[in-house]
Amino acid sequence: MSAPVLANPAPLFVVFNPKSGRGTWPDTQEALRSACRQAGRPLHLLPLPRHQPLEPVIARAVQGALGEGGIVVAAGGDGTINAVAHQAVARGCAFGVLPQGTFNYFSRAHGLSASPQEAVAHLLQGRPEPVQVGLVNERTFLVNASMGFYARLLQDRESYKARYGRSRGVALLAALFTLMRGFRTWELQARWAGRTETLRTPTLFVGNNPLQFEQVGVEQGEAVEQGELAAIALEPLSRAAMLGLLVQAGLGRLDKASEVRSLSFRELEVAATQAPRGQRVRVATDGELRWMQMPLRFRVSPKPLWLVKPASLERERG
């Protein structure tokens, strides 16, 4: 697939979530308006509604960018970026990022700055480059997709953040709360590359972001840079052992844990052996929770995401 052709000057259609992460949207908006005014770049700002579907706004932005040879831009955290990227990948639209989230794994993995001024400069100077995307049951993920304990941890974390605010301390408190509630051990039949294996695990985590793997100390992230996805499945654990693994992950030492099973693939099918085919399971994609039917099919998307960035940028290292 060839790269999108941009107009000169290419207009920006910015879909933004003013509530994301650190609340830097006012500074980013000012940097955007100033830089686009100086560069003569048309700018369209489209806020995401609260408590309403996001897809119509995103579709309007993508259609506008395609019709005018422009760039659809996601301003927000990984969840907002995922929602906009899902439609950009499907339509082959040029895609830009103005990171506003707490962790910003996607933007950091591609060397995009969290500074509003630098992020806007990168957007205005860049050209579309193909970036690998993961799919789970045809839903896009840029950073990771998971089921089981990790997905429930994210659900509890969002509940705590809504009540107590966004901080790493609140995220840790939520993780401890999830751990104390206990967790289910899944029996999964996994098929990939002509192999079939039964996995007994409390969680399955599939990643498309080498930086995240580096931070927890898993070498399997190298597979992502070679055109594959990487998965982690934990052995059945007690609560105390799971707490120990969470600590090791926080210290970047998960590679030393014997309870961790990792593998890499381009396509992976996962079915629950003790549940009827078609059972629904909660899956987290880039931190956003949704219900999906089993079996889960993870694969590298045949379509890239055309990310706008200067060619000289290098990704952050863990």
pLDDT of residue 2: 86
What percent of the chain is predicted at pLDDT more than 90? 54
The answer to whether position 314 is within a domain reads no
128 — pLDDT class (breaks 50, 70, 90)? very high
The residue-averaged pLDDT of 203-221 equals 83
Please check whether residue 185 is in contact with residue 201, taking contact to mean a CB–CB distance below 8 angstroms: yes
Q: Which of the pair, 61 or 256, is modelled with greater confidence?
A: 61
Query: Is residue 196 located within the same domain as residue 271?
Result: yes
Query: Is residue 97 located within the same domain as residue 165?
Result: no
Please check whether residue 270 is in contact with residue 137, taking contact to mean a CB–CB distance below 8 angstroms: no
The answer to whether position 1 is within a domain reads no
Query: Is residue 237 located within the same domain as residue 109?
Result: no
pLDDT one-digit tens code per residue, 90-125: 999 999 999 887 778 899 889 888 888 999 999 999
Query: Is residue 229 located within the same domain as residue 293?
Result: yes
The residue-averaged pLDDT of 126-132 equals 95
168 — pLDDT class (breaks 50, 70, 90)? low
In angstroms and rounded to an integer, the radius of gyration of the C-alpha atoms of the chain is 20
The answer to whether position 316 is within a domain reads no
pLDDT one-digit tens code per residue, 29-86: 999 999 999 999 999 999 998 888 899 999 999 999 999 999 999 998 888 999 999 9
Query: Is residue 67 located within the same domain as residue 28?
Result: yes
Q: Between β-strands 71-76 and 94-99, what pairing exists: parallel, antiparallel or unpaired?
A: parallel
CATH code, domain carrying 159 = 2.60.200.40
The answer to whether position 81 is within a domain reads yes
How many domains does the structure of the chain reveal? 2
Domain of 159 in residue numbering reads as: 139-300
> 142 CB contacts (<8 Å, ≥6 apart)?
78, 81, 82, 85, 106, 133, 134, 208, 209, 286, 305
CATH code, domain carrying 23 = 3.40.50.10330
State the amino acid at position 290 in one-letter form: R
Query: 268, 317, 301: which is closest to 132 by C-alpha?
Result: 301
| 115 φ/ψ angles, rounded to the nearest 5 degrees | -70, 125
- Sign of the CA dihedral with 280 first, then 281, 284, and 290 last: positive
Q: How many whole angstroms separate alpha carbon 312 and alpha carbon 33? A: 25
The answer to whether position 34 is within a domain reads yes
Query: Is residue 199 located within the same domain as residue 75?
Result: no
